[in-house]
Amino acid sequence: MFNWFKRFVEKSKMDGDIKQIKRYSNRKLYDFDLGQYISLKDICNYVRIGLDFKVTNHRGDDITGKTLRKAATPYLSNLTDEEIINVIKGR
C-alpha cells in the first residue's frame, strides 16, 4: 500500500468515523473520504485492515452486505464445497 493511504487509514481508525462509500447506478463505488472511485479489491483491503465502512446505493439504501458478498466471490471460488459449508456454518 502507498504511504499516504496508510496514514489515511490510521487517521480514519483514530477518528472512529464510519467511511461512507456510494455505489452509483453505473456500478462504480465512490469513496467520499478519498475523493475517488474504488474497486471491490479496495473493499477487501478495507476489511483486512479493520476499517469500518458503509456502502449505500444511489437511493440511500444500505447495500454493505451485498457489496461484501460480491467482493468475496473471487476468494470463495477457490474453496471446496466442504470448505464453503464450514464457512456458512461458522467453523
pLDDT digits (tens, 9 = 90+) for 59-75: 999 999 999 989 988 88
Task: Report yes or no: 45 and 1 within 8 Å, Cβ to Cβ.
Answer: yes
pLDDT digits (tens, 9 = 90+) for 33-90: 889 999 999 999 998 888 999 999 989 999 999 999 899 888 878 888 888 888 778 7
- The yes-or-no verdict on residue 1 having pLDDT over 60 is no
- The yes-or-no verdict on residue 31 having pLDDT over 90 is yes
The CA-atom distances, in angstroms, between 64 and each of 43, 80, 81 are 10, 26, 25
pTM: 0.71
What is the spatial distance between Cα 49 and Cα 51, in angstroms, rounded to a whole number?
A: 6
Burial 37-53 (b: 16+ CB within 10 A, else e): eeeeebbebbeeeebeb
Domain boundaries, given as residue ranges, for the chain = 3-89
